[in-house]
Amino acid sequence: MATNLLSAAECKNATSNGANVRKLHDGGGLYLWIYLDGRKYWRLRYWHGDKEKSLSLGVYPKVSLSDARKMRDELRKQLQANLDPSAERKANNLRNKLANANSFEAVALEWYNKQVHTWVEHHASDVKRRLESNIFPTLGKRPIDQINALELLDTIRKIEARGAYDLAHRVLQVCGQVFRYGIATGRCTRNLAADLRGALTPHVKKHQSAVRPEELPDLLRAIAKYEEIGDKQTRLAMQLLAQTFVRTNELIGAEWNEFDLANGLWIIPAARMKMKTEHIVPLAKQSIEKLEELKEISGGSRFVFPGRNRDKPISNNTMLFALYRLGYKGKMTGHGFRAVASTILNETGFNPDVIERQLAHCERNEVRGAYNRAEYLLERKKMMQHWADYLDSIEAGAKIVHLRGHAA
């Protein structure tokens, strides 16, 4: 047992007495080093083999006298077992470093950074938020190869307990991708998410609301009068969404440099597309006219639909809330325009491949995707003009008829 020499008061009041460093001994090799500028550090001097060594035990007063003595006594036990405390510390630090590198959070973030460039911004944000909110707090620091299926299930069931059944399935799916990446990189050997298949509460996926084809004329007429309760820019946005049936995010993020109005083309860059493939949208003359109106409204912003901050586009919810104001809450969404266009155009007799290509339901293969960007372009131009004409006619009160005679 080491003979203690220092008191708490001595440690607190000690100075270097003008020396660059003064060393106060507490017995058993424990010293308090006091520097000229007032800094104080604990160090342990010891012999291992035939060498004298020194080991830092921390900063005083963060590490108190009693704490330093406990650390000294524990390290002395290592010496009695013929272990070098310095070497043991390095080995432990290395183990911790390796454990941190192989933690679920580290592997998940490594996987995320490999994938993020292939995703649109909002999807990338969703994936990261789901991990940070639901998985990292409980499993993030655990070595990925030490997590078991019950731990993962318990974590996912906390999401279910909130009634978020769809989210639970989505988070488990993301975890499965992380485990597969861990297997591929040698950090684990089993995909625990696959082991939990069937263990979650089933979730019936709800399709986004869309009006029936026979309800479309009333919706178009309501949108045409939207300025009675809202603004012109939102009215034009909803009409363009109906005419082009692109995804809502693709429309609201549109920038003027994507448009070739002279040739009636809108070329959406791959970075903004869900499938990460450049997409061409042929513009009907009605769409071009609305874009000309929007140029006056946009006030020089690079965005076609600038928000209050002209350097950012309108919110994702702008058109959804506009539809709510028109009385279509639970009946229609921005995505619903895609569904109703697909239904009517398919019933009309247009080539299904042409419709699917215009919906950007294209292949993920980058080479084929690059080739497909202009596939069926002539047929698509004809279809988009007929679609805009059809919308005008039924809005004006024409009887709903099939357009089979115009099919490509």
Residues identified as active-site: 247, 274, 335, 338, 361, 371
Of 128, 147, 138, the C-alpha closest to 192 is 147
- Helix/strand/coil (H, E, C) string of 142-186? CEHHHCCHHHHHHHHHHHHCCCCHHHHHHHHHHHHHHHHHHHHCC
Q: Is residue 30 a contact partner of residue 46, using CB atoms and an 8 Å limit?
A: no
CA 49 to CA 86: how far, in whole Å?
13
Q: Which residues on neighbouring strands pair with residue 40, listed in sequence order?
A: 34, 60
Tokens at 403, concatenated: 């357009």
Tokens at 167, concatenated: 């989210």
Place of tokens 């911790």: 96
Backbone torsion region of residue 153, taken as left when φ is above 0, otherwise alpha when ψ lies between -120 and 50, otherwise beta:
alpha
* Residue 12 exposure: Cα atoms within 13 Å on the Cβ side: 5
Place of tokens 């998985």: 135
CA 277 to CA 369: how far, in whole Å?
6
Place of tokens 């024409």: 398
Strands (E), 202-275: 259-260, 265-268
CA 312 to CA 309: how far, in whole Å?
6
Those residues whose C-beta lies under 8 Å from the C-beta of residue 234, and which sit 6 or more positions away, are 226, 314, 318, 319, 322
Tokens at 318, concatenated: 């702008």
Of 123, 208, 107, 193, the C-alpha closest to 155 is 193
